[in-house]
Structure 1
């Protein structure tokens, strides 16, 4: 038997927590000295305590934990619950990292002011985009769609066209290969069948962005300022041509040409 202070070191929890769990009957001491009230714990109780702590870390309240402990939730079931919680925590971590990167890019944009972005206008020919149309729920989903698409073709011909207003969680996206009529009717591993869409030509304003799409606002803002100054407006859906997909290392960011179809204000 271990006194409560000893057991707190072994279990890596505070004596105060052990007393509280004993008082509410969630994790009673193995023995309480009737003369001085000292609590004693057996090493065999460590497994039960770890189960309680795992359930607590899942976000369950103590009154929700009690019946699970009394019913002796199995290690396998508990492991699955923890794995699900782990996956959710990792998802939240990725989202938090993306928010930090976005905030940093906003700060950098404010510090840069109106630093120039290389812009170019040119006339594009009418072409065909062979691909599919999908509602994209975010950048990660977009990369998944692009990776599936490029598994059967050359990334340097991959392009996307956005048919909806900007909404980073609900994007009406047309994605495919330019001038790849030979792929019309091909089936991807997901079962999607590629089809041909018109990719109209005409005058476009272009710029190259590097990195995650959530960090592209500086390039898009520069293109918008140019249009306002030169008295142009959008003549069709915004397009992006993928020059390079992101690699596994931070030193291998995506490289994308952004195209705004434009027409002079009347």
Structure 2
């Protein structure tokens, strides 16, 4: 047998907690010395302690835990309950992590309000032919756009490899509003044989006579702050958007996301 101190150490709980479980009738000592009142436990009781703690971690009250323990829940049933709770907690953590990222991105946008925009360059953008795949995102939110773009490029890269084609320049994404949300177009320039059919679209993006461009550094999760800077610069300098926007991934997808570089291009006109 083990003293309450040794049993607490082996079970990774406190002595105070074991006394509490004893008082509630959840885990009685195997023996109590009538002369000293010392509690003693058997090694086999670690199994009940582990079940008690596992059920408690599921979010059950101690009263509910006691009822389940008295029903002598089986190992398979307990394992199933824990797996389900594990999946729920993982989903909750993922949701909270994504929410935290959105809050941080919005905070960075707020902190850059009133700050002079980074260098914006007005330039012409040549026409370009792209191999392209498209899909629809729910909205322009980064959390909605990002997974769609990433899946499209993964699929496009696979198809280009199977076709024996090599990407010859930075990938280009562009968007269009549709009733269901946003149509996402993920493209990459490649050397394609004229007239040959492929399992992806071949599109020709027209040249842009005047584009207001700005460089975004880091992951696209917080690209909203850079778009905000571009919008303020356009307004301050009398430029209007013509509704054509592209993202050129100069360095993206490899290495530390903090080192990624994306050029944002917004077609603009100046008022007469």
Higher Cα Rg: structure 1 or 2? 2
Deviations 1:16-57 (A, max 9, x none): 322333333333333344566543221222233223323433
Match of 2:157 among 150, 156, 160: 150
Distance 2:60 2:173 in 1: 43
Change (3 A) 1:149 1:259: same
Q: 2:39 & 2:145 partners in 1: Cα distance?
A: 54
CA distance in 2, matches of 1:211, 1:155: 23
Aligned to 1:28: 28
Match of 1:159 among 172, 180, 195: 172
Which residue of the partner structure matches residue 132 of structure 1? 134
Preserved contact between residue 118 and residue 214 of structure 2 (Cα < 8 Å): no
Give the Cα–Cα distance (whole angstroms) in 1 for the partners of residues 51 and 197 of structure 2.
54
Cα deviation, 1:84-130, whole Å, max 9, x if unaligned, reads: 367447635753773586378458746x9315324233244375562
SS in 1 for 2:243: coil
RMSD over aligned Cα, in angstroms?
A: 3.8
Gaps of 5+ in 2: 139-143, 161-165
Contact 2:105–2:225 (8 Å) recurs in 1: no
**Contact 1:211–1:255 (8 Å) recurs in 2:** yes
- Contact residue 175 and residue 182 of structure 2 kept, 8 A: yes
Quote the residue 1:43 is aligned against. 43
Q: Does 1:98 align with 2:104?
A: no
1:228 pairs, out of 219, 232, 235, with: 235
Mapped to 2, the partners of 1:141 and 1:51 lie a distance apart of: 42
Count of residue pairs the alignment pairs up: 254
Is residue 199 of structure 1 aligned with residue 208 of structure 2?
A: no
* Greater Cα offset, 88-97 or 206-215: 88-97
Give the Cα–Cα distance (whole angstroms) in 2 for the partners of residues 107 and 44 of structure 1.
58
- Equivalence for 2:163: none
Which deviations, in whole Å up to 9, do the C-alpha atoms of 1:122-161 show, x marking residues without a partner? 2443755622223263535533432332332527342211
SS at match of 1:43: coil
Aligned equivalents of 1:171, 1:260: Cα separation in 2: 17
TM-score normalised per structure 2: 0.71
The answer to whether the aligner puts 1:260 opposite 2:263 as a matched pair is no
Match of 1:177 among 158, 178, 188: 188
Which deviates more, 92-101 or 218-227? 92-101
Separation in 1, partners of 2:110, 2:191: 41
2:226 is aligned, of 211, 219, 228, to 219
| 1:124–1:204 Cα contact (<8 Å) kept | no
**CA displacement at 1:228 relative to structure 2:** 0.4
Moved more, 75-84 or 115-124: 75-84
TM-score w.r.t. the length of structure 1 is 0.73
